[in-house]
Amino acid sequence: MLYQPDRSQYPSRKPDGSLDIDLSSGKYLKLWQGPQHPGITGNMSVELTVCGDEVVEGKTHVGYLHRGFEKLMERRTFIQCFPIVCRICVPEPDFNEYCYAAAVEELAGLEVPERAHWIRTLILEMGRINSYLMYLGGQAGALGQGVIGQWTTYVRDLMLDRFEELSGARIYHMFIMPGGVRDGLPDGFDQRMEETLREIESTLADVKDVMFNNAVFKKRTVGLGYIDPAIVDQYGVTGPTARAAGIAKDVRRDQPYLVYPELDFEPVVGQDSDVFTRADVRRRDLLMSVDLIRQILARMPRSGAVMAPLPNVLHWKIPFGETYIRGECSRGEYGYYLVTDGSGYPRRVNVRGPSYTHAMALLERLIVNCNISDVAALMVSLHTYPPEIER
């Protein structure tokens, strides 16, 4: 460890509890990391106050990506909201599509066909793999290992090819619609998917050798960014970040949705709750997704409807109601809170992205006393995507 175990009394505080930082003393320096900075995840920035190379205070600033989706949706009919929700999270857009669709279906009383549930699960797991691959590249990159990012980007691209042939698009798939999914699997999809999965597995084996079994990586990440399991609920921590702290929180098992009750899996858990453990939990979770995709493809029905009969979507009205739909995305609990008022438009949509809590309150807490060179690694280890903070 580079620091004294207990640095909590540093810097000192004023009697009212606020930090005693006098910038004119020359001891402190204000430093902006982001919004354009290779060590930042997406478009956000952290306002750091450093003393020497140690961070004494960090404030997250967002606002570079705000498009007001929640408000835009209040002006769009229920079907018109479907193409915009995916844009709330670029690397893993499918959770937006699923959560929104499921919320609309629940309030509108639509019965989604069984086959659509399987295809949705497949898509969500494919998206999870993509998101983790992007994360692994970022996590390694934050510590200067550019090569990992090149490898994971390559296999991620293969998965994007699978997305393209399944949904007709690589990034914003717009495939999970209220009512079901647009179409079934294309011919020969299983085989090409199996080839992709093998490529991912082999790449991950390399990643394990080069990134995880790596003295430098271990030295930099073990013990960094410790999250006390006791604060997990206080800070709304979910997903792999919570599981790395030994808390087996996984919506797929706790409140199963889609076809997860029929799949065989156990949440991946770690114990040390540091950057290394979080990375490792994600790597193992990724391999579990590979296994889940194999299970899904082996067991999913191959014929039957993929869409529930919809009313005329041009004047689709949904009765008064409210609901919350959640799913376990690669970063934690993703959820949609949808309120309807009997009109053809949502009254209110609130998107609960895991980054909202992770990148704000949690990061601001963890960043204190961190070495400035570790800020990027710490931030990436929370696996945050700014668009879902601002929406």
From the list 207, 217, 314, 357, the residue with the least C-alpha distance to 274 is: 217
Binders of another protein in range 53-72 (CB under 8 A): 62-63, 66, 68, 70-72
| Residue of 20, 255, 271, 319 interacting with another protein (CB under 8 A) | 255
3-state helix, strand, coil in the chain (%, to 5): 50, 15, 40
Sheet holding 45-51: strands in order across?
A: 28-33, 45-51, 54-61
Tokens of 40: 């930042």
DSSP-based three-state secondary structure for 346: strand
| Residue of 28, 82, 98, 132 interacting with another protein (CB under 8 A) | 82
* 191 contact partners, CB below 8 Å, separation of at least 6: none
Q: Between residues 52 and 303, which has the closer beta carbon with respect to another protein?
A: 303
Measured N-to-C along each axis, helices 114-141 and 94-108 cross at an angle, to the nearest 10 degrees, of 150
User: Per-residue x/- marks for another protein, 136-175, CB under 8 A?
Assistant: -----------x------x------x--xxxxxx--x-x-
Binders of another protein in range 209-228 (CB under 8 A): 209-211, 213-216, 218-219
Question: Minimum CB separation from another protein for residue 390, in Å?
Answer: 5
Stretch that binds another protein, among 118-126, 131-139, 277-285, 360-368 (CB under 8 A): 360-368
Cα torsion angle, 30, 37, 335, 224, sign? negative
* 377 contact partners, CB below 8 Å, separation of at least 6: 139, 142, 143, 220, 221, 224, 225, 275
| Residue of 8, 25, 303, 312 interacting with another protein (CB under 8 A) | 312
- 319 sits near another protein (criterion: CB under 8 A): no
Give residue for tokens 């179409």: 183
User: Per-residue x/- marks for another protein, 288-307, CB under 8 A?
Assistant: -----------------x-x
Overall residue count recorded for the chain in this entry: 391
Q: At CB < 8 A and 24+ separation, what contacts does 156-160 make? A: 156/129, 156/130, 158/196, 158/199, 158/200, 159/126, 159/129, 159/130, 159/133, 159/196, 159/200, 160/130
Q: Between residues 114 and 233, which has the closer beta carbon with respect to another protein?
A: 233
Tokens of 162: 């699978």
| Residue of 92, 125, 333, 388 interacting with another protein (CB under 8 A) | 333
Question: Minimum CB separation from another protein for residue 305, in Å?
Answer: 7
Q: Between residues 17 and 26, which has the closer beta carbon with respect to another protein?
A: 17
Planar angle of CA 238, 239, 240, nearest 5 degrees: 125
Residue 211 is classified by DSSP as I
| Residue of 47, 297, 365, 369 interacting with another protein (CB under 8 A) | 365
Question: Minimum CB separation from another protein for residue 229, in Å?
Answer: 12
- 98 sits near another protein (criterion: CB under 8 A): no
| Residue of 53, 194, 206, 228 interacting with another protein (CB under 8 A) | 206
* 324 contact partners, CB below 8 Å, separation of at least 6: 103, 335, 336, 337, 338
Q: Between residues 170 and 294, which has the closer beta carbon with respect to another protein?
A: 170
User: Per-residue x/- marks for another protein, 2-41, CB under 8 A?
Assistant: ----------------------------------------
- 361 sits near another protein (criterion: CB under 8 A): yes
**Are 79 and 344 a contacting pair, CB within 8 Å?**
no
Q: Between residues 53 and 111, which has the closer beta carbon with respect to another protein?
A: 111
| Residue of 58, 113, 236, 239 interacting with another protein (CB under 8 A) | 236
Q: Between residues 291 and 348, which has the closer beta carbon with respect to another protein?
A: 348
